[in-house]
Amino acid sequence: MNIQERRNKDGKITSYRIRVFDHRDTETGKQFFRNLSIKYDNSKSESWNRKNAEKQAAIFEKGIEEQTLTDSRITFAEYAEYAISIKEKSDITEGTAIAYRQVLKSIEKHIGHIQLKNLVPNVLNKLYSELLECGKSKKHVRYIHSVIRIILAFATKEGIIPKNYAAYAAPPKKEKVEIKALTEEELQNFFKALYSEGTNYTYQVFFSLMIATGCRIGEICSLSWEDVDFCNKRIHICKHYVQTKEGYVIKKGCKTSSGVRWIYLDASIMKMLSDYYNDYKKKLINNSGEWNMDEKAVFTSPVYFGEHLKVDAARSWLTYFNEPHGLPHFHPHQLRHTAISLQLKAL
């Protein structure tokens, strides 16, 4: 809000012009304002006129806020897409934007048509209850809540709604989910089954490296031969998988800023990698005649030799391998916890 004095050619105040923010165009981001003129009362003092102008300005601003909220017919789905498109250019990654849009698509039939101003706490609570009844996990519903809250926070900041209604909703409480490490027996049984078959060479090395390093599955899948330093017996973790509109791609850097690191390996693991490297090189030459190994993936796609093994493919393989071998189902991330547990035990 802005109050400006209007004066005549003699320099005397004749009126006050009040300028108040009305709304922002959701397509262009352009701001619109409304003006009000308050006539100066010559029978009163300048101090009284100023205070009167401030009083009228406050009333005018409140009226515009209430009218804007009443007149605003933008739906949650419309505004959510606008908000994500803006945030995508500034403070969220492409992968995060894709995840947000996937969430919004899943709840569009529930609340997408509801006007933003009507998306009050009881409406959100009803949504969460319906999703839980449909079999969605509490964790997933909480994630949906967090996305809605981010969208409404943006709307509050832009003055579209007076407050973030999601902050007053009641999503399911966060459950403490403990990711358990594998027991020594479970780990031994897994590797015994893995090495009992001669057709799993790539995955034998893959999961052996995971348990030896404690790396994330995406970090292992992202390894290229240029990241393996045979001379110094170490590997360089410096890339990660990122989801984009085109699918998963590998980008430089790690999940966290401190994630880029060198990991030193013992002689047995380096011997395993060296043997695997030699076998890999023979296959590469036989398949394409190429000799340049540096940019090739350490763990390669079974379909396109030399290209990186996808994270989803490695996860799926593990699931399908465990079941027929009578092994318990476990997530690859449990190997990371198992590796840390074994390292602590060895201290």
Indicate the burial class of 75 (C-beta count within 10 angstroms; 0-12, 13-18, 19 or more).
middle
Q: Cα(313)–Cα(193) distance, rounded to whole angstroms?
A: 19
Q: Cα(93)–Cα(83) distance, rounded to whole angstroms?
A: 14
Q: Cα(296)–Cα(13) distance, rounded to whole angstroms?
A: 77
3-class DSSP state for residue 138? Answer: helix
> What is the tens place of the pLDDT at every residue in 318-335?
999 999 989 988 888 889
pLDDT surpasses 80 at 256? no
pLDDT surpasses 90 at 33? no
Residue 68: predicted pLDDT? 52
Strand-pairing partners, residue 168, are: none
pLDDT surpasses 50 at 90? yes
Higher pLDDT, 339 or 246: 339
3-class DSSP state for residue 115? Answer: strand
> What is the tens place of the pLDDT at every residue in 52-63?
989 888 877 777
Residue 153: predicted pLDDT? 93
Region 133-140: what's the mean pLDDT? 92
Amino acid at 76: F
Give the lowest-confidence range in 14-18, 88-92, 201-205, 314-318. Answer: 88-92
Q: What is the mean pLDDT of the chain?
A: 86
> What is the tens place of the pLDDT at every residue in 304-315?
777 888 888 999
Residue 243: predicted pLDDT? 65
Is-contact 221 314, C-beta < 8 A? yes
Residue 15: predicted pLDDT? 92
Residue 307: predicted pLDDT? 83
pLDDT surpasses 80 at 154? yes
Q: Cα(103)–Cα(144) distance, rounded to whole angstroms?
A: 6
Region 215-234: what's the mean pLDDT? 92
Residue 70: predicted pLDDT? 47
Residue 95: predicted pLDDT? 80
Residue 20: predicted pLDDT? 84
Cβ-based neighbours of 11, under 8 Å, separated by 6 or more: none
Higher pLDDT, 347 or 280: 280
Region 291-303: what's the mean pLDDT? 80
Residue 258: predicted pLDDT? 72
> What is the tens place of the pLDDT at every residue in 213-222?
999 998 999 9
How far the first Cα of the chain sits from its last, in Å, is: 64
DSSP H helices, the chain, are 46-71, 76-88, 94-107, 121-133, 138-157, 184-195, 201-213, 217-221, 267-288, 311-322, 333-346
Residue 244: predicted pLDDT? 67
Residue 268: predicted pLDDT? 94
* CB crowding 234-273: b at 16 or more within 10 Å, else e: bbebbbbbbbeeeeeeeeeebeeeeeeeebebeeebbebb
pLDDT surpasses 80 at 18? yes
Region 231-254: what's the mean pLDDT? 79
pLDDT surpasses 90 at 249? no
